[in-house]
Amino acid sequence: MKTSVVEVLNNETLLLQEISLKGWVRTFRSNRFIALNDGSTIKNIQCVLDFENTPEETLKRINTGAAIAVKGTLTESQGRGQSVEVQVSEIEVLGDSNPDEYPIQPKKHSFEFLRENAHLRMRTNTFSAVMRVRSKLSFAVHQYFQERDFNYVHTPIITGSDAEGAGEMFRVTNFKDNEAPIDENGNIDYSKDFFGKETNLTVSGQLEAETFAMSLGKAYTFGPTFRAENSNTTRHLAEFWMIEPEVAFMDLDGNMDLAEDFIKYVINSILVSCKDDLAFLDQRLTQEEKSKPQAQRSEMSLLEKLKFVVDNNFKRVTYTEAIDILRNSKPNKKKKFQFPINEWGADLQSEHERFLVEKHFKCPVILFDYPANIKAFYMRLNDDGKTVRAMDVLFPGIGEIVGGSQREERYDVLVEKMKALDIPEEDLWWYLDLRKFGTAVHSGFGLGFERLVQFATGMSNIRDVIPFPRTPQNAEF
Ligand code: 4AD
Ligand code: MG
């Protein structure tokens, strides 16, 4: 019976039974002990060879990275470090791994090196743990919404509209190099392109998700989104996954409640489903923190941080209150911020967000009611005429993890706003129709999935929580 390592470790009835396993060699020592990993768990299983009865030829082929099949009896382990082991009766090398060429040796590799070997890095403890947590988190996302009767909507990836109005889009065209037709104004004539118009990869599924909120009531998207912003930071990807719920008849308060409840649910769910991986990642982070100067070390371990988020209320603060706090803060007065905060209306940078979360409130923060002119066109204008019903959820170590808002449901106000921002009505006629026919208060948000995985795993670089990161100058694999 072929089993997986996770089954073997969790199923006591297999003790003294004949089992069969397939996986990859992590280490092989004393010509006798194989640490086998099959990806089903962070834990290896020790396979003990009867080396006198194993051909020399075979022993030579048991190298780190080789794929093997073993058969044998599961016994209690004599050695330390594991409770059970396999007394191997049969071994077959299924796929060799040349030790002089295999990049993933049993030693500590830098994350930079492993990024260059992203096709193999899931064979390390850290990346296998991160990717298992990522998988469980995405399942929890669907579970949360499905249990609450949200409809999963597949919004388009190719789109003619710029949802965020930031112009950071990747063009989608079928024109061949140097063969794009030119119109009478000397511009590329996209009316002759595949879709008969300019199209791009979407930056957000929100606008289309709104059509589902205004018909099915509760909807969510969870798909890839693309941004051509040239930011080489530890928190930005050119291709990332976003979760976007959208709900009819829900205002900004409901939206904040939803975001907080949702995040707590998914974090709590991996605390239950990913115990071994999180324990490993917790240790890893603690080691990493030790190499930092005392002042920069986190006060909490990874597991403590995750539990803290689940157990505590997020602090809700208006943008205006936040500006007052920042203006009077020590780093602002001592000119320590790269972007000093002088007046109301300033856009908040990650350094400000992190000050509020990590130094001032020391808990996740939801900022709301932002100035209209630093937020997207679709956000509902407040009665003061200068702020909008926007909210950002800010997290320790991450900064912004969620951006959302109550949407402008008033046709006239929305049209005015689009005019002021030069957004052509004819591009978004269908979006405006939602305000013409049965309009209603509605709200939603977008959560950057990789930022959530970063928080959940304690990985400091966003490139290390997505299998194959796309960033400026990098689309390998
Ligand atoms: O704040 P953003 O731009 O909001 C929207 O796109 C809205 N349409 C969402 C909505 O209301 N339905 O992006 C939402 C989140 C951010 O808070 C951040 O977590 C993540 O998406 N994000 C990125 N993640 C990785 N790389 C990037 N370049 C990201 N840009 C945004
Ligand atoms: Mg945002």
Nearest atom (ligand 1) to Cα of 401:
19
Residue 206 CA: which ligand is closest?
1
Tell me how far apart the alpha carbons of residues 70 and 66 are, in angstroms, rounded to a whole number: 12
Q: What spacing in Å lies between the alpha carbon of 392 and ligand 2's midpoint?
A: 7
Would you state the pLDDT for residue 57? 95
Residue type, 323: I
Q: What spacing in Å lies between the alpha carbon of 442 and ligand 2's midpoint?
A: 18
Average pLDDT for residues 262-284, to the nearest whole number?
A: 98
* CA 170 to each of CA 163, 198, 228, 238: distance values in angstroms, whole numbers, following the listed order: 13, 11, 6, 9
Closest protein CA for atom 27 of ligand 1 = 236
Residue type, 29: R
For 237, half-sphere exposure in the C-beta direction (CA atoms, 13 angstrom radius) is 23
**pTM flag (> 0.75):** yes
For 71, half-sphere exposure in the C-beta direction (CA atoms, 13 angstrom radius) is 6
Would you state the pLDDT for residue 1? 65
Would you state the pLDDT for residue 134? 98
Q: Which is more confidently placed, 299 or 240?
A: 240
Average pLDDT for residues 295-314, to the nearest whole number?
A: 93
Strand partners, 446: 403
Of 451, 463, 466, 471, the residue with max ligand 1 atoms within 8 A of its CB, to mutate for a pocket test, comes to 451
Quick check: 69 pLDDT over 70? yes
* CA 131 to each of CA 42, 139, 438, 450: distance values in angstroms, whole numbers, following the listed order: 11, 12, 43, 11
Q: Which tens digit of pLDDT belongs to each residue from 26-37?
A: 999 999 999 999
Residue 469 CA: which ligand is closest?
1
Quick check: 94 pLDDT over 90? yes
Would you state the pLDDT for residue 241? 98
Q: Which is more confidently placed, 296 or 189?
A: 189
- The set of residues, in sequence order, having a beta carbon less than 8 Å from that of 221 and lying 6+ positions away, is 152, 153, 154, 155, 205, 206, 208, 209, 242, 243, 244, 246
Nearest atom (ligand 1) to Cα of 451:
19
Asked if 90 contacts 43 with a C-beta cutoff of 8 angstroms, the reply is no
Pull the structure tokens for residue 353: 């967000």
Asked if 332 contacts 326 with a C-beta cutoff of 8 angstroms, the reply is yes
Asked if 408 contacts 387 with a C-beta cutoff of 8 angstroms, the reply is no
Band the pLDDT of 231: cuts 50, 70, 90: confident
Nearest atom (ligand 1) to Cα of 166:
3
Would you state the pLDDT for residue 294? 87
Mean pLDDT estimate for the chain: 95
Of 221, 233, 240, the residue with max ligand 1 atoms within 8 A of its CB, to mutate for a pocket test, comes to 240
Nearest atom (ligand 1) to Cα of 238:
28
Q: What spacing in Å lies between the alpha carbon of 144 and ligand 2's midpoint?
A: 23
Quick check: 259 pLDDT over 80? yes
Band the pLDDT of 189: cuts 50, 70, 90: very high
Q: Which tens digit of pLDDT belongs to each residue from 53-68?
A: 899 999 999 999 999 9
CA nearest 213: which of 254, 244, 241, 257? 244
* CA 198 to each of CA 68, 178, 188, 192, 326: distance values in angstroms, whole numbers, following the listed order: 52, 17, 10, 10, 42
Q: Which residues contact ligand 1 via a Cβ below 6 A? A: 163-164, 204, 206, 227, 229, 236-237, 240, 242, 244, 400-405, 444-448, 450-451
Q: What is the CA radius of gyration of the chain?
A: 27
Burial 335-368 (b: 16+ CB within 10 A, else e): eebeeebeeeebebebebbbbbbbebbebbbbbb
Q: Which tens digit of pLDDT belongs to each residue from 384-404?
A: 999 999 999 999 999 999 999
The packing angle between helices 275-290 and 449-457, to 10°, is 70
Domains in the chain, please, with CATH? 5-102 (2.40.50.140), 123-168+203-464 (3.30.930.10)
Quick check: 96 pLDDT over 80? yes
Could you write out the DSSP letters of every residue in 254-272? HHHHHHHHHHHHHHHHHHH
Would you state the pLDDT for residue 296? 83
Average pLDDT for residues 351-374, to the nearest whole number?
A: 96
Closest protein CA for atom 17 of ligand 1 = 402
Nearest atom (ligand 1) to Cα of 393:
17
Tell me how far apart the alpha carbons of residues 446 and 314 are, in angstroms, rounded to a whole number: 17
Quick check: 98 pLDDT over 90? yes
